[in-house]
Amino acid sequence: MKPCLHITVIGRVQGVYFRVYTQKQAIKLNLSGYVRNLPGGEVEIVVRGEAAALQKLVDWCHKGPILAKVSEVVVREWRLDEAFEGFEIR
């Protein structure tokens, strides 16, 4: 099974289309998983795919869409047996 990451993006990342642009990036990179807003104002991404594509998404998360102000990106390897079909916004 391909590697899976859990990414938490902190800063001004809600209300700036972060989830929509994350989905576009993930689809472009042929990644699967989901993105969602968290109650504390962060964005959570659980994503699976090839290591190089995962790194490209992580790099993108440090900037995000133009209206975002990312202050921190926390990346952890994730052990998840869920098989994703596509990349969805939750």
Residues known to be catalytic:
19, 37
The span from the CA of 58 to the CA of 5, in Å, is: 9
Q: Could you tell me the end-to-end alpha-carbon distance of the chain, in angstroms, rounded to an integer?
A: 23
Number of residues assigned to the chain? 90
